[in-house]
Structure 1
Amino acid sequence: MEKLRMGVIGTSDHYELRVATPLKSSLLVEPYGIASRNLEKAKAYAQKWDFSRAYGSYEELLADPNIDFVYTPLPNYLHLELIKKAADAGKPVICEKPLGLNAREAVEAAEYCAKKGVPVMEAFMYRFHPQWRRAAEIVKCGEIGTVVSTNGLFSYNLKDGSNIRNIAAAGGGAILDIGCYTVSSARLLMGGEPERVVATLIRDPVFKTDILVSALLDFGGGRVSSFTIGTQAYPYQRVTALGTGGALSVKVPFNSYADTPGELTVNSGLGGRVVETEIVDQYLLEFDNFAEAIINKTEVPTPISDAIANMAVLDALFASAVSGSWEPVRKY
């Protein structure tokens, strides 16, 4: 099968660190073109990561008929604009999370791509890891009963003011960068959407970005998820789910290692066990699954409706941090 030629918009560190090497093993995706607003920078990046073409503008890449789909790992505030430009060029697009700065942008992106007949997917790589597929199966089959609560912890320590994650105007901050993961995983394990949320939030006095956030998500019927995220704290991550008949915990839920098995701890009436899943690279799975959907003309594996629902919760978290009260999650 001939590989799909991918165009990457932006010479990002994220692509270098997490995506470039896994895609060398892909049977479906060929990293074909790289675009930067600086042609010399694009050429150097292309040489380093074996791209066939380098472009001195994003528009030039999008105009290339050899590009089958595009990937954008650029900052959050550029996502909607670039998704629209890709759709105008008729290019399917996989966009880094979050899909936009708020749910309104996510809806606008979805409607625009639908009008143009172009597939779009939010790049939540963790959803493709077999440890999460197995966790979802355990919940679905009822092994731990009805999930009544989940808890998420996700943090890192980054105090560099030049880093895009610490620039408020570019969509930096904890909620958009990592809160999207703790909300997404809670929605997955709880099997639904929260009705309302309440959150506390601390901002950096210089950066003005949210650096420490704790929240409760009320799913109704007494079922509540909680999480704490931080961008100036000890690096740590863990997700647990408590059910009426057991519990499970995902050891490294989001930044799982590509050279070690995934690991779940499961406790139920029969006892406790550690479940190991196969060694995979979740980024390779993410891009291959997206490419397969394009080739087969099927729905993308993570539907755009999921991105919109996730953003609606993030919006409510921001609103609660301002009001100091429970805020409803808007339905779209």
Structure 2
Amino acid sequence: MKPVSFGVLGVSGFFMKKIGIPTAKSPLIQWNGIASRSLERSQQAADTYNITNAYGSYEELLADDTIEAVYIPLPNHMHAEWIKKAADAGKHVLCEKPLALTADEAQEGIDYATSKGVKVMEAFMYRFHAQWKHVLELIRTKEVGTVQLVNTFFGFNNVDPNNIRNQSAKGGGALYDIGCYAVSASRFLMQSEPKRVVSQLTYHKDFETDILSSGILDFGNARAQFTVATQTFPYQRVDVHGSSGVISIDIPFNTPADVPVKVTVTTSVGTREVQLGPEDQYITEFEGFARAIREDTAVPTPPIDAIRNMKVLDALRESGQTNQWVSIS
């Protein structure tokens, strides 16, 4: 299969370290362009990481007919705009989460891209790791009985006022940045949509972003609850509580590519551990997207999932303002 020619909008250390270098090893992915507002900066990145072309603007990269698809890791508030611009240029889009800042904005961007005949996928890389497929199978076979609760914690410590995660105007804050993972994971494990949500959001007095956010998602016969934080000791964990046991994922999201990870099942019989990996979830994600382009099939994570996730995030934000349960239609 011929590799897909990718370009990336923006220069970031995260992209280079976690995505650009590892995915370049894949026979399905070829990095042919990197763009920033500074040609000098993008050229330096291209030279350092062996990317074919550098551009001094995002528009220049989109105008290059040799680029088939773009990866968008720009600040959250720019996602919807550049999805549309990429679609205008006929580029398929793999966009970082959240896909937009509201469900309506996500719907608009996806509809626009679809009208232009290009594929769009939200980049929730965690779903491509084998541990999540394993946990879904454990749930399906009722290894812990009937699922009653999914509990998620995800936190890190970032107090830099210049970091986009701490800038409200750019879509920063715990709920957008990592709460989206907690919501996505809950929906993924439940294989359904919540009927209503309630939340409590604590805001930084200077940044005006939420720094400690908790929520409950009511799925009818089961619930999910989460807490996400941006100024706490770095930690993450997902526990699935069933009527006869608990499934625990020790490193659910920032899963290391070079070492195995552990899923633990605890029941009345005892505790057993399963090691999965090592596996690079970013490579698997990009390869899945590339295959969908080459084979002209549906992307692994359908665009409707991004809209549904944003509907929950919209409701959680509304609940944080009203201190009431908010229904999701």
What TM-score do you get using the length of structure 2 for normalisation?
Answer: 0.98
Moved more, 268-277 or 299-308: 268-277
Q: Residue in 2 aligned with 1:277?
A: 276
Match of 1:125 in 2: 125
Report the residue type matching 1:199 in the other structure.
S
Q: For the residues of structure 2 that align with 1:49 and 1:17, how far apart are their CA atoms?
A: 10
- Aligned pairs for 1:43-82 (under 5 A) are 43-82=43-82
| Distance in 1 (alpha carbons) for counterparts of 2:116 and 2:238 | 38
Residue number in structure 1 paired with 2:115: 115
Shift, 1:277, TM fit: 0.8
Quick check: 1:296 aligned with 2:279? no
Q: Find out whether 1:91 has 2:91 as its counterpart.
A: yes
2:231 paired residue number: 232
Q: Give the CA deviation at 1:146.
A: 1.8
The answer as to whether partners of 1:12 and 1:74 remain within 8 angstroms in 2 is no
What's the offset of the Cα at 1:271? 3.1
Q: Deviations over 1:261-319 (max 9, x none)?
A: 12100123543210111211111111111101111111000001111111111001100
Quote the Cα distance in structure 2 between the aligned partners of 1:269 and 1:120.
44
Q: Distance in 1 between matches of 2:101 and 2:16?
A: 24
Structure-2 residue corresponding to 1:8: 8
Distance 1:269 1:115 in 2: 53
AA at the equivalent of 2:140: K
Separation in 2 of the partners of 1:128 and 1:83? Answer: 22
Structure 2 CA distance for aligned equivalents of residues 33 and 24 of structure 1: 12
Residue correspondence of structure 1 range 283-322 to structure 2 within 5 A: 283-322=282-321
Cross-structure match for 1:255 = 254
**Shift of residue 4 of structure 1?**
1.1
CA distance in 1, matches of 2:177, 2:14: 13
Q: What 5-or-longer segments of structure 2 have no aligned partner?
A: none
Q: Distance in 2 between matches of 1:145 and 1:41?
A: 54
Q: Are 1:197 and 1:317, in contact at CA under 8 Å, matched by a contact in 2? A: yes
Figure out how many residues of one structure are paired with residues of the other and give that number: 329
Q: Following the alignment from structure 2 to structure 1, what is the Cα–Cα distance between the partners of residues 304 and 234? A: 31
Which letter maps to 1:64?
D
The residue type paired with residue 95 of structure 1 is C
Shift of 1:24: 2.7
Distance 1:98 1:84 in 2: 15
Q: TM-score, normalised by structure 1?
A: 0.97
CA distance in 2, matches of 1:267, 1:298: 39
Q: Secondary structure at the match of 2:212?
A: strand
* SS at 1:22 equivalent: helix
Unaligned runs of 5+ in 1: none
Give a deviation string over 1:89-131, Cα, whole Å, max 9, x none.
Answer: 1110000000001111111111111111110000000000001
Preserved CA contact (<8 Å) 1:259 1:279: yes
| 1:246 positional shift | 2.0
SS at match of 1:110: helix
Q: Secondary structure at the match of 2:107?
A: helix
Aligned partners of 2:180 and 2:309: how far apart in 1? 7
Within-5 A mapping of 1:148-187: 148-187=148-187
What is the DSSP-based 3-state SS (H/G/I as helix, E as strand, rest coil) of the residue aligned with 1:153? strand
CA distance in 2, matches of 1:174, 1:17: 23
**For the residues of structure 2 that align with 1:99 and 1:136, how far apart are their CA atoms?**
24
Separation in structure 1 between the aligned mates of residue 2 and residue 195 of structure 2, nearest angstrom: 46
Deviation at 1:57, TM superposition (A): 1.0
Identity among equivalent pairs (%): 50
Opposite residue 60 of structure 1, the aligned amino acid is E
One-letter identity of the residue aligned with 2:205 = P
SS of match in other structure, 2:253: coil
Distance in 2, matches of 1:212 and 1:264, equals 27
**Structure 2 counterpart of 1:135:** 135
Query: Take 1:310 and 1:27, find their aligned partners in 2: how far apart are those partners?
Result: 32
| Alpha-carbon distance in 2 for matches of 1:84, 1:73 | 15
The letter of the residue matching 1:248 is I
Q: CA deviation at 1:256?
A: 0.7
Query: What is the letter of the counterpart of residue 101 of structure 1?
Result: L
* 1:38 Cα offset (Å): 1.0
Residue equivalent to 1:325: 324
Q: Give the structure 2 partner of residue 23 of structure 1.
A: 23
How many Å separate the matches in 2 of 1:325 and 1:214?
13
